[in-house]
Amino acid sequence: MPSTSVCTGWLTIALGVLAAPLCLGCSDGAADEDEGGTAGTASGVAGAAATGASGAGASNASGAPSAGAGPATGGGGASAGGAGAAVGGTGAGAGGSTGSVAGTGGSAGAGGGSAGSGGNAAGGGSAGSGGSAGAGGSTSADCNGVVGQKVVTVGASGADFSTVQAALNSLSKTNTTPTQVRIAPGTYKEKLRVEVPNITLCGQAGKASSTILTFSDNANTSNGNGGTLGTTGGASTTLTSSDVSVENITFANSTPLGGSQAVALLVNGDKVQFRGCRFLSFQDTLYVRKARQYFRDCYVEGTVDYIFGDATAVFDDCTAHNVGGGTAVTAPNTAESMAYGLVFLGGQLTAASGVQAGSMALGRNWGAYGAAAFLRTALGPHISGVGWVKMGENTLDTARFSEYQNTGAGAATGSRAAQANQLTAQQASNYTVEKVLGGWVPSFSK
């Protein structure tokens, strides 16, 4: 979220093998002018991360920042209509902390068997929770099995290019030929701009946690002209092109906890879809903007407003995980004219063991008309009874926050904010992928 921090005290905590500063008594300030939104005044810097929590700032053996820490693999549930397991990470990634949080279990597919069990903790991390029953896995082919398309490869050796940006730069920004950019496992420390349409960024199946695109810029990084980059400019990866698919890749920002807004991925292309991807940071992890995006079987972790923006975005059977204390999971800035904002269909909201029960809101409205909805989502005990809170000078009276048939310790609606909408079955029937995304049916949703 676009804000600055004013600190009254600092505390150093241990996060895996990293000692990170924690800002106590911080508050959000003015908005970055490059984002056009108004930031709130509520607390904007995360609290202490739980012991063993994974983070994008874990150090590798050489002391360089690494986003490798990730969740351990969760078990996939049986499915009659295709695998429904959400992709978890595999322990600590290359050079990552040994105190990683275990991944969530896979989701059972429609008509499938029981949900997968949680993965074992890596090096002392807390165990992941079992997956909840979902709508079944996508039946569209993994990108590695696609034939008949142009292929460009990226890897440390034996590939066309050794960096992702070089591979992208080899393609036209007006590309009309479906093209696979296949990325071998590795940690690619690059500040990326994806401006090529009609491509698939393809990591190897089952290797999302070890195929990492990361950088360490954040909102407070100098822009070289006496100012700072701001939230938008600090993004590790910025994806502006349309008709893009992404599979089996981790997007991370290696800024440590307490290091300001640190976007792992900013995406503002239209009809962009993700499957089996991971997004790692603390504050402001995933910034969805302006257009339509779809996320399937993905994992997003953070602390403060870590899924935010003005896009219409569907999160289908995804996991949003709090690695430390914070404010809210989502911060929508939806335009008044847009019917839908951030929509969660199934999936689960989880938290590290050190996150206080009832401490996290489902959402707070960055923009006056911010819209977010959670339907049939498993809500952990870290979700507050009130559920929804305002940001800064905004009011919940204009926000559009909705729920339907959620489950779990955080799903009780008796104390919800009065302005929150508990959908009827008829209203919930309008929350299909096709309707939410304005007629676009992503191939990953099939």
What residues are labeled active site? 284, 305
What letter would DSSP give residue 10?
E
Helix (H, G, I), strand (E, B) or coil at 95: coil
Which of 189, 186, 122, 118 has its CA nearest to residue 155? 186
Q: In Å, how far are 20, 51, 100, 256 from 48, measured between CA atoms? A: 10, 9, 15, 12
Residue 169, H or E segment: helix 164-169
Q: How remote is the C-alpha of 147 from its chain's centroid?
A: 29
**Contact status, residue 365 vs residue 392, Cβ threshold 8 Å:** no
**Contact status, residue 366 vs residue 333, Cβ threshold 8 Å:** yes
Per the structure block, which two tokens stand in for 399? 């926000």
Which of 50, 31, 33, 49 has its CA nearest to residue 41? 31
Gap between the Cα atoms of 168 and 54, Å rounded: 30
Q: Would residue 208 be called left, alpha or beta, if left means φ above 0 and alpha means ψ between -120 and 50 degrees?
A: alpha
Which of 405, 356, 414 has its CA nearest to residue 387? 414
Beta strands in 72-144 (DSSP E): none
Which amino acid is it at 355?
V
Per the structure block, which two tokens stand in for 16? 């895996």
Backbone angles phi, psi at 166, to 5 degrees: -60, -40
Per the structure block, which two tokens stand in for 405? 């048939």
**Contact status, residue 44 vs residue 26, Cβ threshold 8 Å:** yes
Q: Other C-beta atoms within 10 Å of 114: how many?
A: 13
Per the structure block, which two tokens stand in for 248? 């089996």
Helix (H, G, I), strand (E, B) or coil at 428: helix
Per the structure block, which two tokens stand in for 188? 């690619």
Q: Which residue in this structure is represented by tokens 């938008």?
A: 232
- Provide the CB-side half-sphere exposure for 86 (13 A, CA): 39
